[in-house]
């Protein structure tokens, strides 16, 4: 992968996300001058899942970098569901908290749906609450899940108009696949959603002008699945061992697909950094609402 790092085919999520975070800081500082208030993001981590700890650490660091308040709650793995729900209730009422993120996955004894449903929709910066999901599919203004929002910003930066384009998504999770489909539809693409029961997956993918892979299977998408010139958005983050080294790879076989695609996101350094930028974007956007100020248009963050 390294030999291809400078190629113009590579969509550098680090550069794009850094530009967005700079804008977020600028708008956040202006909002602070106007209201004397600072947006606050509460992150709740339950247990010791190593991947979750890394994600939370990154989110907290980036929250502080843009000048927002970071409120951290680390709970033991055996915390009861009621204790967690009580904490969410407290954060819902806290005027210093504009966004609440409960890091998933939660331990098995806790019902994640119940916890996500408890978060006030206006503070639901992950965009997972049923009210926000319904608004997204109805074309109403809502908080949108961060990873698909980041993917849509990447795609918009390459192809602003998707009229006449066919987008294929592999994966139908509530976190990535389904909201991604809603966003691509809103961008006028013709959308196909694939999943584990899809027949002839490779032939369906070969029809895609834009292919979004969100599966969780290392390097599943091969070169002969790709239409020449397609835009490939690789959401997967898989830890594997190669040549006795532990590395991160996506759901797309990057080396194989590189020569066939038009553009591709690397793993790491593609979608991942955009997810965090969009978490901060959601926090800022909802802070405007909660501080009774008019939020700038989304396009202001992308100029």
| Helix, strand or coil, per DSSP, at residue 221 | strand
Mask: binding to ligand NDP, 228-257, rule CB under 6 A, as x and -?
-------xxxx-------------------
**Could you tell me if 239 and 248 are in contact, meaning their C-beta atoms sit under 8 angstroms apart?**
yes
The least distance separating ligand NDP from the CB of residue 146, rounded to whole angstroms, comes to 7
The least distance separating ligand NDP from the CB of residue 236, rounded to whole angstroms, comes to 4
Which residue out of 23, 98, 103, 135 is catalytically annotated?
Answer: 103
The least distance separating ligand NDP from the CB of residue 196, rounded to whole angstroms, comes to 3
Task: Tell me how far the alpha carbon of residue 21 is from its chain's centroid.
Answer: 14
Which residue out of 59, 62, 123, 178 is catalytically annotated?
Answer: 59
CB closer to ligand NDP, 54 vs 83: 54
Contacting ligand NDP (CB under 6 A), which of 275, 283, 286, 290? 275
Beta bridge partners of 10: 264
The residue sitting closest to ligand NDP, measured at its beta carbon, is: 173
The reply on whether position 145 binds ligand NDP by CB under 6 A is: no
- Which stretches within 171-298 are classed as H helix? 177-186, 201-206, 254-257, 271-290
The least distance separating ligand NDP from the CB of residue 173, rounded to whole angstroms, comes to 3
Binding residues for ligand NDP, how many (CB under 6 A)? Answer: 25
CB closer to ligand NDP, 189 vs 267: 267
Taking CB under 6 A as the criterion, which residues in 151-190 touch ligand NDP? 170-173, 175-177
Mask: binding to ligand NDP, 69-108, rule CB under 6 A, as x and -?
----------------------------------------
CB closer to ligand NDP, 87 vs 281: 281
CA nearest 149: which of 271, 56, 289?
271
Contacts of 94 (CB under 8 A, 6+ apart): 40, 42
The H or E element containing residue 190 is: strand 190-194
Mask: binding to ligand NDP, 190-229, rule CB under 6 A, as x and -?
----xxxxx--x------------xxxx------------
- Which single residue is written with the structure tokens 């993001």? 41
Contacts of 39 (CB under 8 A, 6+ apart): 28, 31, 68, 69, 98, 99, 283, 284, 287
The H or E element containing residue 85 is: helix 81-93
Which residue out of 98, 118, 126, 165 is catalytically annotated?
Answer: 126
Contacts of 194 (CB under 8 A, 6+ apart): 168, 169, 170, 171, 172, 201, 204, 205
Contacts of 79 (CB under 8 A, 6+ apart): 46, 110
Instruction: Decide if 103 is catalytic.
Output: yes
The least distance separating ligand NDP from the CB of residue 105, rounded to whole angstroms, comes to 9
* Residues assigned a catalytic role: 59, 103, 126
Q: Which residues bind ligand NDP (CB under 6 A)?
A: 147, 170-173, 175-177, 194-198, 201, 214-217, 235-238, 271-272, 275
């Amino acid at each position: 992968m390294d030999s291809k790092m400078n190629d113009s085919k590579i969509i550098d999520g680090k550069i794009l996300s850094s530009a967005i975070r700079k804008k977020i800081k600028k708008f956040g500082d202006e909002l602070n001058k106007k209201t004397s208030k600072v947006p606050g993001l509460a992150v709740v981590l339950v247990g010791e899942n190593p991947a979750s700890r890394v994600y939370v650490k990154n989110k907290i660091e980036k929250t502080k970098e843009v000048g927002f308040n970071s409120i951290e709650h680390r709970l033991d793995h055996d915390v009861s569901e009621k204790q967690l729900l009580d904490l969410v209730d407290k954060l819902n009422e806290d005027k210093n908290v504009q966004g609440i993120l409960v890091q998933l996955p939660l331990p098995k004894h806790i019902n994640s749906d119940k916890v996500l449903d408890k978060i006030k929709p206006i503070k639901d910066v992950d965009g997972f609450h049923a009210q926000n999901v319904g608004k997204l599919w109805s074309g109403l203004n809502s908080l949108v899940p961060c990873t698909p929002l980041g993917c849509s910003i990447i795609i918009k930066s390459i192809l602003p108009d998707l009229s006449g384009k066919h987008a294929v998504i592999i994966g139908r999770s509530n976190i990535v696949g389904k909201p991604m489909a809603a966003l691509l539809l809103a961008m006028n693409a013709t959308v196909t959603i694939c999943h584990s029961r899809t027949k002839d997956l490779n032939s369906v993918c070969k029809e895609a002008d834009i292919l979004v892979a969100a599966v969780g299977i290392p390097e599943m998408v091969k070169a002969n699945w790709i239409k020449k010139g397609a835009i490939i958005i690789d959401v997967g983050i898989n830890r594997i061992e190669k040549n006795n080294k532990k590395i991160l790879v996506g759901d797309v076989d990057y080396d194989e697909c590189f020569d066939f695609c038009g553009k591709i996101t690397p793993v790491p350094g593609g979608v991942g950094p955009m997810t965090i930028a969009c978490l901060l974007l959601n926090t800022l956007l909802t802070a405007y609402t909660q501080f009774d100020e008019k939020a700038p248009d989304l396009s202001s963050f992308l100029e």
